[in-house]
Structure 1
Amino acid sequence: MQVTVKLHAILRRYRPAGIRDEGLPVEVPENGTPRDVAAALGIPLELIHAVFVNETQATLDTPLRPGDLVRLFPPVVGGGES
């Protein structure tokens, strides 16, 4: 089944070559999860800090349905001056 994926910050480097569109179509197995999305794109799980499915916070094991929008975020780094 196909879902649409948006990668944020450093995770964008895992887009296939030549793909710049923010809505990346990804094939995952029926009853797939965001974990399957990460595997399909070669993203190490330790780089994923937050997952949203259809704008709702989710986990790597949230079941997906055809056409879902999956957003993957890395850990946030940075901060103010000390």
Structure 2
Amino acid sequence: MKITVKLFATLRPYLGEGASGTPVSVEIPPGATIGQLAELLKLPPGEVKICFVNGKICDLNHVLADGDEVGIFPPIGGG
């Protein structure tokens, strides 16, 4: 099934050089979770902090559906 993924901040490079912050279509197996998507994209463990699916915050166990729009943020600090 196909979903749309947008990675933010320090995670952007994991979608490839051409992505540069734009959403990318990704093919995933049916029943895949956000955690499995993170593994598929080779995101570093612990770097996935906030996830949105279709504009709603979700955890790593959320099961994705065909056509979902996923946004993933790393931990963000400031001061």
Do the two structures share a fold, i.e. TM-score over 0.5? yes
CA shift for structure 1 position 21:
5.5
- Superposition TM-score, scaled by structure 1 size: 0.87
* Structure 2 segments unaligned to the other structure (5+ residues): none
Amino acid corresponding to residue 29 of structure 1 in structure 2:
P
Aligned to 2:56: 56
User: RMSD of the alignment, in Å?
Assistant: 1.3
Which is greater in Rg? Answer: 1
Equivalent residues in 2 for 1:2-81 (5 A)? Answer: 2-20=2-20, 22-79=22-79
Unaligned runs of 5+ in 1: none
After superposing on structure 2, the runs of 4+ consecutive aligned residues of structure 1 that deviate more than 6 Å are none
Partners in 2 of 1:24 and 1:71 — Cα distance? 11
Q: TM-score scaled to structure 2, two decimals?
A: 0.90
Instruction: Give 1:66 shift.
Output: 0.3
3-state SS in 2 of match to 1:4: strand
Count of residues in Structure 1 that have an aligned counterpart in Structure 2? 79
**Cα displacement (A) at 1:13:** 1.4
Identity %: 38
Aligned counterparts of 1:41 and 1:7: Cα–Cα separation in 2: 10
